[in-house]
Chain A
Amino acid sequence: MKYAFSFLAVIALILIAWAGSHIPGMPYFFGVFVPYMAIAIFLGGFVYRVVQWAKSPVPFSIQTTCGQGKSLDFIKHNRLEAPDTTAEVVARMLLEIFTFRSLFRNTKSELHAGPKITYESSKWLWLFAIIFHYSFLMVVIRHMRLFLNPVPEVLAFLDWADSMFEIGSPSMYMTTAGLIAGVVFLFSRRLVNRHVRYISLANDYFPLVLIFAIGITGALMRHFLRGGIDIVAIKQLAVGLVTFSPVINGEIGSIFYIHLFLVSTLLIYFPFSKLMHLGGIFLSPTRNMKNNSRAVRHINPWNPDIQPHSYAGYEDEFREFMVEAGIPVEKELPAKKDEE
């Protein structure tokens, strides 16, 4: 049901863009207004969310140590997994962000008769997450060539490298294939893996279907519907958008508006969804804190003023017993009257 809803939602978006782009005057709405609005919401929303997170303090030092902490000099310190310095934290974070290090640890547990539980390494999720994210990143970078005139050499090089296998004409980008394959895997996994299937929400399927549709419409434009679109006009519009002088010359083709509308939807959806993990990972206290909490005091800005049950109160309650047991006390017992 939840994935069906996601498909329906994306199909609806496609229909809106397709139908809308045929209405006279509406190309400006879909080609100029919506993208501007989407970018504004994306940037504003992203910043807003990060600021909202940053407003809450980190009261305690709650790093998760995944290795030996800094201790005695003959005990080997795992600098990446229990970082003690800022440099070590940065290294840990970079590995986390660029190599998905924690996900790389993933294991699969199985229950067998006995009972016996086994654990084996399971790297499929890691592999496809890497393929998906890096492909997506490359696709985004590649698209920059549309907005820049002349195209910087580095982008031209990436473009060449991405299509170096020269499959098809124009040759297929590896990252387009990677993006679509990644999405298909992540989506299928949600259906097949029983744990994930049970926890998945429409919020989980929707972005996958949306990105899938973005990838497919992009590939269609490049490989199959090339005749129906005006590349020069697209480039003009793209350059016009970044220079704040957008123009739409002639018929660009519905498939382009559909693609652009889906991308705009993704941008608008982004800050209000789980996709914000892109920003959140940088702020996750279990990963970005140093494991030096005994060496350097961490400050809690709202540290409440709470005193312990006082020693004086404790001794008052138990003084007699303490004296009798020979435990030193601060105040001696009062002299008993009948002991004269």
Chain B
Amino acid sequence: MAVPKLEQLSKSVVQGPSLATGAIPTRDWMDIPTVFKEGNYAYVAKKDKVEYLDSQKGLHFPNAREWSPEDEDWKLPENWKEIIINGLKERLDKFRSLKIFMDCCVRCGACADKCHFFLGTGDPKNMPVMRAELLRSVYRNDFTLAGKILGRMAGAREMTVGVLKEWFMYSYQCTECRRCSVFCPYGIDTAEVTMMLRELLHLVGIGINWILEPVSNSNRTGNHMGLQPHTFKDNVDFLADDIENLTGVKITPSFNRKGAEILFITPSADVFAEPGLYTAMGYLILFEAIGLDYTWSTYASEGGNFGLFTNNETMKKLNAKMYAEAKRLGVKYILGGECGHMWRVLHQYMDTMNGPADFLEQPVSPITGTVFSNAASTKMVHISEFTADLIKHGKLKFDKSRNSHVKATFHDSCNPARAMGLIDEPRYILDHVVDWVEMPENTIREQTFCCGSGTGLNTDEIMELRMRSGLPRANAVKYVHEKHDVNMLSCVCAIDRATLTSLMNYWNPSVGVCGVTELVGNALILEGETRGELDEGLRTML
């Protein structure tokens, strides 16, 4: 799908007739049908991927088939409506959040212009309140007295194929970033609504390939890229070779090693593609510098969890590998790399789903002796917490000038910021390794804007949508680029490293993207190094 030219899209965002630019639609939203055309939807899951997942114990992905959203007939099961309504009832009984969020919204509109998808597309159905109304209207119709009596007058509508299509469109134009929930006076979290919508859609066989293929890869090979064990090892070994070429220090990482003190898990994208590769090099350099006794795993080689973007059962199944592997290898605890949604799962779900991890020990930094009491139960520590602690105790020697080619800013990833409260640790690290500035205050910390392509929307066929929804983030970067000559957008998220790169290439081509640990690795002085001038740090081509 061709992406519109920059000038074209810039104009369209501001002048195009949309609710965000001042045009009020003349028709009621319930009367506006959803139209699918090339470019406005992500490709649906391939039949064999759905079949594979449905065959896995504990997972339920029925109705595998060849189909397209552009077709009139979505080849739904005959009793699809019953499945959806029963599925909704089941979820109302399982999730208090869903019930409360269906009942309490007063439509005050505080969330309306907080959503990056709404700001970028101006589509009224991308206002968080409206996204929830898509489901709430059906809920009213089938589960509330007022809705049953007053029908449409009370905002109720019957579940139809049209509604189902609308759900598909708009539950995949939400990245579950939770920015709206910060501003909602009742804390209504659209991520919860979107999750429920996606769960319901999977019940009748509606899902996208960019999520289900990574899920099946993660299940089978251990990581979403589908890297088999030897390839995964090769990739990391390549990075170690690169480090040796750059610094003269030979690093020999270990894999699936029993008896290591720590199991290290990071998103597999870090060992697969730029610019994540440099972040992975940062990890290797950091661990070498402190002589950490750790191992990688090829079986649990994915930090990210694409299951989070499907349903809670799949999330649990994928996540369970981490503890299973930690137990098998007999490590003391797990250290996790930089990733956004990965950390949402680890911080808010893992222990509940797959704990208690009583075969592990409360994490203690082997270098500083710091006890990570905030991870006492999950036994999983974030690399930024780990690194900040090392810096505080003076265990790392930096030469900040090695990052003098970089003027950085920092992008808070949605999940660490709003589902974890990991906000100042990366900043503390940046202060020690690089010259950096903050973006405007309404776009950082808990108010940070999503990259626009999270929750499995990082797929090329919806590039225009992604560039639109990423605009608020890109715009804030542009501001510091123009004002402070910022040339690097640092972050602690693997999806960001991929998606923000596309976003910067489009909106701010002179700004690069990196992980915080890349900057750490680059500034770190290794014992015995024979490092020359590296104009671009770890990215220097020799």
Chain B binding surface SS class: helix
Q: In the complex, are the beta carbons of A65 and B257 less than 8 A apart?
A: no
A239-290 interface (Cβ within 8 A of B): 272-274, 276-277, 280-281, 283-287
Cβ contacts under 8 Å, B229 to chain A:
318, 321-322, 325, 327
Q: In the complex, are the beta carbons of A325 and B107 less than 8 A apart?
A: no
Q: Which of B58, B109, B219, B256 contacts A199 (CB 8 A)?
A: B109
Q: In the complex, are the beta carbons of A327 and B347 less than 8 A apart?
A: no
Q: In the complex, are the beta carbons of B420 and A196 less than 8 A apart?
A: no
Q: Which of A54, A198, A304 contacts B29 (CB 8 A)?
A: A198
Q: In the complex, are the beta carbons of B423 and A281 less than 8 A apart?
A: no
Cβ contacts under 8 Å, A325 to chain B:
229-230, 233-234
B163 located at the interface, meaning its Cβ lies under 8 Å from any Cβ of chain A in the complex: no
Cβ contacts under 8 Å, A198 to chain B:
19, 24-25, 29, 124, 130
Chain B residues within 8 Å of chain A by Cβ, number: 123
Q: Hey, what's the 0/1 contact readout for A192-208 against B, CB within 8 Å counting as 1? A: 01111111111110000
From residue B288, how far is it (CB to closest CB) to chain A in Å? 20
Q: In the complex, are the beta carbons of A295 and B92 less than 8 A apart?
A: no
Nearest A residue to B122, CB-CB: A111
Q: How far is the CA of A167 from the CA of B57 in the complex (A)?
A: 74
Q: Which of A273, A280, A306 contacts B100 (CB 8 A)?
A: A280
Q: Which of B155, B187, B428 contacts A75 (CB 8 A)?
A: B428
A34 located at the interface, meaning its Cβ lies under 8 Å from any Cβ of chain B in the complex: no
Q: Hey, what's the 0/1 contact readout for B430-452 against A, CB within 8 Å counting as 1? A: 00000000001011011100000
From residue B392, how far is it (CB to closest CB) to chain A in Å? 6
A334 located at the interface, meaning its Cβ lies under 8 Å from any Cβ of chain B in the complex: no
From residue A206, how far is it (CB to closest CB) to chain B in Å? 9
Q: In the complex, are the beta carbons of B377 and A105 less than 8 A apart?
A: no
Nearest B residue to A53, CB-CB: B99
Nearest B residue to A283, CB-CB: B100
B287 located at the interface, meaning its Cβ lies under 8 Å from any Cβ of chain A in the complex: no
Q: With a 10 A CB-CB cut-off, give which of A52, A102, A117, A125 has the most chain B CB atoms.
A: A117
Q: If the complex has contacts A106-B110, A324-B230, are A65 and B419 also in contact, measured as CB distance less than 8 A?
A: yes
A336 located at the interface, meaning its Cβ lies under 8 Å from any Cβ of chain B in the complex: no
B359 located at the interface, meaning its Cβ lies under 8 Å from any Cβ of chain A in the complex: no
Q: In the complex, are the beta carbons of A322 and B298 less than 8 A apart?
A: yes
Cβ contacts under 8 Å, A196 to chain B:
107-109, 112
Nearest A residue to B127, CB-CB: A195
Q: In the complex, are the beta carbons of B186 and A273 less than 8 A apart?
A: no
Q: In the complex, are the beta carbons of A60 and B349 less than 8 A apart?
A: yes
Cβ contacts under 8 Å, B281 to chain A:
none
Q: In the complex, are the beta carbons of B146 and A309 less than 8 A apart?
A: no
Interface segment out of the listed B350-358, B457-465, B487-495: B350-358
Q: In the complex, are the beta carbons of B186 and A125 less than 8 A apart?
A: no
Cβ contacts under 8 Å, B443 to chain A:
119
Q: Which of B57, B178, B255, B389 contacts A327 (CB 8 A)?
A: B255
Q: If the complex has contacts A61-B352, A96-B185, A108-B113, are A72 and B388 also in contact, measured as CB distance less than 8 A?
A: yes
Q: In the complex, are the beta carbons of B219 and A74 less than 8 A apart?
A: no
Q: If the complex has contacts A76-B424, A195-B19, are A309 and B233 also in contact, measured as CB distance less than 8 A?
A: no
Q: In the complex, are the beta carbons of A62 and B192 less than 8 A apart?
A: yes
Q: Which of B96, B114, B321, B418 contacts A65 (CB 8 A)?
A: B418
Q: In the complex, are the beta carbons of A195 and B113 less than 8 A apart?
A: yes
Q: Which of A59, A72, A199 contacts B352 (CB 8 A)?
A: A59
Cβ contacts under 8 Å, B356 to chain A:
297
From residue A332, how far is it (CB to closest CB) to chain B in Å? 14
A300 located at the interface, meaning its Cβ lies under 8 Å from any Cβ of chain B in the complex: yes
Q: In the complex, are the beta carbons of A60 and B352 less than 8 A apart?
A: yes
Cβ contacts under 8 Å, B258 to chain A:
328
Q: Hey, what's the 0/1 contact readout for B305-349 against A, CB within 8 Å counting as 1? A: 000000011001110110011001000000000000000001111
From residue B311, how far is it (CB to closest CB) to chain A in Å? 11
B106 located at the interface, meaning its Cβ lies under 8 Å from any Cβ of chain A in the complex: yes
Q: In the complex, are the beta carbons of B421 and A56 less than 8 A apart?
A: no
Interface segment out of the listed B261-269, B367-375, B517-525, B532-540: B367-375
A98 located at the interface, meaning its Cβ lies under 8 Å from any Cβ of chain B in the complex: no
Q: If the complex has contacts A65-B446, A68-B421, are A195 and B109 also in contact, measured as CB distance less than 8 A?
A: yes
B403-429 interface (Cβ within 8 A of A): 417-425, 428
Sample of 25 A–B contacts (CB below 8 Å):
A59-B94, A59-B312, A59-B352, A63-B348, A69-B421, A72-B425, A105-B183, A112-B14, A115-B14, A125-B108, A193-B109, A195-B109, A195-B124, A198-B130, A272-B145, A274-B106, A285-B97, A306-B59, A307-B58, A314-B222, A317-B220, A321-B229, A325-B233, A327-B230, A327-B256
Interface of A toward B, CB cutoff 8 Å = 5, 49, 52-72, 74-76, 78, 81-82, 96, 100, 102-103, 105-109, 111-117, 119, 125, 129, 193-204, 272-274, 276-277, 280-281, 283-287, 291-300, 302-311, 314-315, 317-318, 321-322, 324-328
Known: A66-B418, A119-B440, A284-B97. 7 other contacts (CB 8 A): A64-B187, A74-B428, A103-B110, A292-B374, A294-B378, A297-B352, A311-B328
